[in-house]
Structure 1
Amino acid sequence: AGVVGFVLVFIESYIVMIIKQYEAVDFGGIAPFVSVWTMNFFLVFSILTHIKFWYEEREAQREEEAAERDRFIN
């Protein structure tokens, strides 16, 4: 999640540069850059956590359905 958050900083900066027709983006120092990176990290972390929970729930539901079919067949 940390690496993806870091990549998102540059993607977001590039989008801002295109929209506002800037040639460079100045974060104003290391602290604002780290703040943006941290926000992106938690965004990616929360998305990946929700995907993980969804996947685990889906697998459990499929196992339950398979067990139900096995009981019905036998």
Structure 2
Amino acid sequence: MMRMSIAGVAGFVLVFIESYIVMSLKKYEAIDFGGIAPFVSVWTMNFFLVFSILTHIKFWYEDREAQREEEAAQRDRFLN
């Protein structure tokens, strides 16, 4: 649930960052998304991008913790 919340907010922020980059590169003063549907489509793509990145970070962290626990258990067996 936390990943979804963060991904939703970060996806929304990314829409504006991407818009600012396009406006700067092309010297535009404004961007018209053409309605709410294209805006939501861009937001959705950004949501899934951030969500997948956060999911990979979560799996990496869980794997790292499991390795640390395993190494600690091996050290304890070796010392005893």
Q: TM-score per shorter chain, which class?
A: over 0.9
How high is the sequence identity, in percent, across the aligned residues? Answer: 89
Length-normalised TM-score, structure 1: 0.98
Query: Structure 1, residues 22-52: CA drift from partner, whole Å, max 9, x if none?
Result: 1111100000000000000000000000000
**Paired residue type of 1:62:** R
Aligned with 2:52 (options 46, 59, 70): 46
Which runs of 4 or more aligned residues in structure 1 lie more than 2 Å from their structure 2 counterparts after TM superposition?
none
| 2:17 counterpart of 1:11 | yes
SS at 1:27 equivalent: coil
Structure 1 unaligned regions, length at least 5: none
Aligned with 2:40 (options 34, 39, 45): 34
Structure 2 unaligned regions, length at least 5: 1-6
The number of equivalent residue pairs is 74
CA RMSD in angstroms, aligned pairs only: 0.4
**Paired residue type of 1:8:** L
Q: Measure, in 2, the Cα distance between the counterparts of 1:17 and 1:69.
A: 57
Length-normalised TM-score, structure 2: 0.91
